[in-house]
């Protein structure tokens, strides 16, 4: 796992990469220490769960860095490439498994982006022409937003405590 050293000044690329890595760690930290049951709790009307947010972030990494930036076909990407199912975590996946999946996606993203100029562009079917700089900014925003969502879910989960959970909570 990467643990970025705080970087507040420096070249643009260094700052973007630091902030992206920082937000990756922040998102992971929202699920560390939660039980499998706690990480899967649905506390909002949508399918959103803490573990699901990390699963979705791994999908986003693969989509933007492997599919868009590297131009890889789905068959050469490291995991599921179906957007609608990106929040779904199977019963046999653990919190540790999903964190590891996200970390692998981040490692591969760093490797792919390392040799590409910030101004290099790629075509995206919905957004049109995008640069690596734009992808970095999008991922920073995405992971920061999801870390905030997951922070709230974690707070609500821990506030409720095991004694206040009902059978319907566990059923999801």
Domain ranges of the chain: 12-171
Burial class (CB in 10 A: 0-12, 13-18, 19+), 7: middle
Q: Show the CA angle centred on residue 149, arms to residues 103 and 158, nearest 5°.
A: 95
Residue 86 has pLDDT above 70, yes or no: yes
**Percent of the chain scoring above 90 in pLDDT:** 75
- For the entire predicted model, the pTM comes to 0.87
Banded model confidence at residue 65, pLDDT cuts 50, 70, 90:
very high
Residue 165 has pLDDT above 50, yes or no: no
* Mean pLDDT on 116-135: 97
> Which residues, listed in sequence order, are joined to residue 129 by a DSSP beta bridge?
123
* Mean pLDDT on 102-121: 97
Q: Which alpha helices (DSSP H) does the chain contain, by range?
A: 12-29, 36-40, 50-61, 95-114, 132-160, 167-171
Distance CA 36, CA 31 (A): 9
* Mean pLDDT on 39-44: 93
Task: Give, to the nearest 10 degrees, the angle between helix 95-114 and helix 132-160.
Answer: 160
Task: Count the neighbouring beta carbons within 10 Å of the beta carbon of residue 110.
Answer: 16
Q: Show the CA angle centred on residue 98, arms to residues 165 and 162, nearest 5°.
A: 15
CA-closest candidate to residue 29, choices 110, 158, 109, 147: 147
> At the topology level of CATH, where does 12-171 sit?
1.20.120
**Percent of the chain scoring above 70 in pLDDT:** 90
């Amino acid at each position: 796992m990467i643990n970025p050293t705080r970087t507040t000044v420096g070249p643009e690329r260094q700052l973007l990469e630091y902030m992206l890595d920082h937000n990756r760690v922040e998102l992971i930290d929202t699920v560390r220490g939660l039980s499998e049951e706690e990480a899967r709790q649905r506390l909002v009307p949508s399918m959103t769960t803490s573990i699901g947010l990390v699963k979705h972030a791994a999908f986003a990494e693969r989509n933007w860095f492997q599919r868009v930036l590297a131009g890889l076909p789905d068959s050469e990407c490291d995991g599921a490439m179906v957007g609608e199912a990106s929040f779904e975590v199977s019963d046999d996946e653990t919190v540790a498994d999903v964190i590891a999946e996200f970390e692998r996606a981040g490692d591969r993203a760093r490797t792919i982006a390392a040799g590409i100029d910030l101004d290099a562009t790629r075509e995206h079917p919905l957004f049109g022409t995008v640069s690596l700089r734009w992808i970095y900014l999008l991922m920073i925003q995405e992971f920061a937003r999801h870390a905030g969502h997951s922070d709230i879910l974690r707070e609500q989960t821990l506030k409720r405590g095991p004694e206040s959970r009902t059978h319907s909570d566990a059923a999801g």
